[in-house]
Amino acid sequence: MAKRHKRFLSLEQRPVNKDGYVTEWAEVGMIAMGSPNDPTPSIKVQNGVIVEMDGRKREDFDFNEIFIATYGIDAKVAEEMMAISSVDIARMVVDINVPRERVVKVFSGLTPAKIVSVIDQLNVVEMMMGLQKMRARRTPSNQAHVTNPQDNPILLAADAAEATRYGFSEIETTVAVFNYGPFNAISLLIGGQVGRPGVLSQDALEEAIELQLGMRGLTAYAETVSVYGTERVFIDGDDTPWSKSFLASAYASRGIKMRFTSGTGSEVQMAYAEGKSMLYLEIKCIMLTKAAGVQGLQNGSISCIGVPAGVPGGIRAVLGENLVTTCLDLEVASGNDQTFSHSDMRRTARLLMQFLPGTDLVCSGYSATPNQDNMFAGSNVDADDLDDWLIIQRDLRVDAGLQPASEEEIVAVRNKAARALQAVYEELGLPRITDEEVEAATYAYSSEDMPPRDKVQDTKAAQDLLKRGLTGVDIVKALAKRGYTDVANSVLGIQKQRVSGDYLHTSAILDKDFNIIAAVNDLNDYQGPGTGYRLEGERWAQLQNIRQAVKPEDL
Amino acid sequence: MSQQDLINAIVREVLAELNGSGAKPAAAPTERYCGEKGAKLDYRKDYPMAAKRPELVKTASGKSLNDITLDAIISGEVKPDDIRITPQTLEYQAQIAESINRPHMARNLRRAGEMTRVPDARILEIYNALRPNRSTKAELLAIADELEGQYQAKICAGFVREAADVYERRDVLRKD
């Protein structure tokens, strides 16, 4: 084209045009849902055993299908539920007169291909209505990422305190340098409790190391336990449904909460999608999670979001996978995680799908730091978006899990977290934290504001701490000895969760007094207007109270 | 009690409940729910256990939740090893999961109950042995025997034997 239209030239400069898009390509699985290679739903049960599923005979099942057919589908009701038409089941999901319990019962007898065909009947507004009714816990909540590229422990503690003061009920870290693992876990354990007692923290690491930190009480739960929708990708991920289920039971045997992780696009990214649609493969992951007896799942594409985001209807499919997770009666930590778009409009549109209906954890990693410090490759929303988030909650009268906090209280909890960590390091003989570092962490925007630390010494001490067999109880003692009695009690409160096992149940989180809020004693009972979770009373007053609002008496 | 007396008693109970007289059925549920034969915990009454059934929650060393205090930690009376869930508590939680129609979770918690007896290091080794192409069939079957014989982990043993069969069929056993 010789002569260019100036509006096109202008559009080309817009952020949305820095994102990548691709046309559907079913042969390699670049298709959100409805691939011509997806199987046709079918079921055959003989003597209580599923002998055929989605057009394949039991002797031809791969290991995922064996596991799902053996443990994931209720053979007693399967033929009855499979006989209901997909559109009728889709209507049940949306219909406020059909209780959640009934939908869960129907889904317990469906095959993966049938579930895809149900979801494909729904537009995104219907899916959001479904998610509002089907999420397991009545009260919505949120999770934050707390990381930095220097693995600076003081900044991690301060950032954890800030995040939990804003209301995140779970915080997740990971490492820039592998050997820092135990240090990062300790920073979140202490900082998180300073910001708001009862917060659960985790450290995303290699499976076996992650379990060890949990066993020692340095983390409160685990999430980075991936499952995959094809056998080949599962093997490439160095696991099977049996190894992952064994790991899940290992966590429970130590009284530790955990969830699995999966997401659309991972099989395409690992190049073995077998030409199936992303949603079809993801539904297998969700069913594997249920079959393993795991209470919940982190999904919503997560680290593969660029793949579904590039294809037609991809973001709809991502909402669809969250919805299926809830229809299978699992906790959902619903993505809005890894960054996928340069466009503020696009990332907000993607966010609203979970933000508006509410989920157990709207983000499964809101970056509590600026994105440059996020070690999960950035997040769809970060520390610079906090006021936008809070004001959108206020505009729409929606509780997406966060509440406003004043600058004074944020500074206070950051400082206290940094000082508590300083004291614990000294008690445990770990590399010294200076007053200058405490001060820097209290007021830091990002890790660039932190004085550099001796990383060789830090990583050596972190590994040595593992060899010494340090546990959460040692942290409690150190805090108590140095006068941080309230924080010591909170860290102890977290340790005690591993005795009662109450928080092993679906969608369990803790309030500031360590009361359990789970999809057992706080079951979602939404059945239309006047039911379910309602943002009102004290909580609504709290969410209205933003610092930017002018009060009549100020005028 | 004769058949007729029994029916009369039931009718009286039902009527009492309908009339809201507050009269409770003869068998006190609190008695029956203490893990006696046939009595199962229920999510409506017994969850969360720490608040509703604290008397049933003991640590591995027999302490109750109220014994785990800051003072007891500082004095060394409570040690890290005390803060461990027991197979009995996991069984109770499995019953609660069943009562809310989550049989999959109950199965997981019962596997976990058995695994409380397996040391940390051995658990990690078995997990690694269950990864694809790590073990021969004989090795997996030996692990199953060990789980059953040494740790009375029958459900887990069955699970590992099932894995051995599936791995053979799907060709994910180690080839020497």
pLDDT for B81: 87
Asked if A245's CB is within 8 angstroms of B85's CB, the reply is no
Using CB atoms, which residue from A71, A208, A255 is nearest to B85?
A: A255
Amino acid in position A254: R
Q: What's the Cα-to-Cα distance from B99 to each of B40, B45, B96, rounded to whole Å?
A: 8, 10, 5
Sheet with A331-333: list strands edge to edge: A260-261, A296-298, A331-333
Q: B64: closest CA among B46, B41, B82, B43?
A: B82
Question: What is the per-residue pLDDT for B17?
Answer: 45
Indicate the average pLDDT of chain B. Answer: 85
Is it the case that residue B7 has pLDDT exceeding 60?
no
Catalytic residue among A151, A231, A337, A474: A337
Separation CA A406–CA A38 (nearest Å): 52
Average pLDDT over residues B111-138: 97
Q: Do B105 and A293 touch (CB under 8 A)?
A: yes
Identify the pLDDT of residue B39.
81
Best of B82, B108, B160 to substitute, by most chain A Cβ atoms within 10 angstroms, is: B108
Q: Could A502 and B49 be called an inter-chain contact, meaning their C-beta atoms sit closer than 8 Å?
A: yes
**pLDDT at A280 (0 to 100):** 97
Average pLDDT score over residue span B98-113: 98
**Tokens at residue A266, please?**
């991972």
Cα within 13 Å of Cα(A409), Cβ side = 12
Confidence at residue A354, expressed as pLDDT on a 0 to 100 scale: 98
Mutate to test the interface with A, among B127, B134, B172, B173 (most CBs of A within 10 A): B127
| Whether residue A298 lies in the annotated active site | yes
- Peptide bond between residue B48 and the one before it cis (omega within 30 degrees of 0): yes
How many residue pairs bridge chain A and chain B with CB atoms within 8 Å of each other? 201
Does position B26 have pLDDT exceeding 60, yes or no?
Answer: no
Instruction: Collect all residues of chain B within an 8 Å Cβ-Cβ radius of residue A495.
Output: 68, 83
Contacts of A473 in chain B (CB under 8 A): 73, 78-80, 83
User: What pLDDT score was predicted for residue B30?
Assistant: 36
Among partner residues A238, A245, A501, which is closest to B93 by beta-carbon distance?
A: A501
Residue % of chain B over a pLDDT of 90: 75
**In chain A, which stretches have pLDDT less than 70?**
none
Say if the Cβ atoms of A480 and B156 lie within 8 Å.
no
Tell me the C-alpha distance between A359 and A8, whole Å.
Answer: 39
Residue B73 to residue A234, Cβ atoms within 8 A? no
Active-site residue, A223 included: yes
Report the residue from B92, B104, B162 with minimal CB separation from A290. Answer: B104
Rounded CA gap, A44 and A69, in Å? 11
**Residue B19: pLDDT above 70?**
no
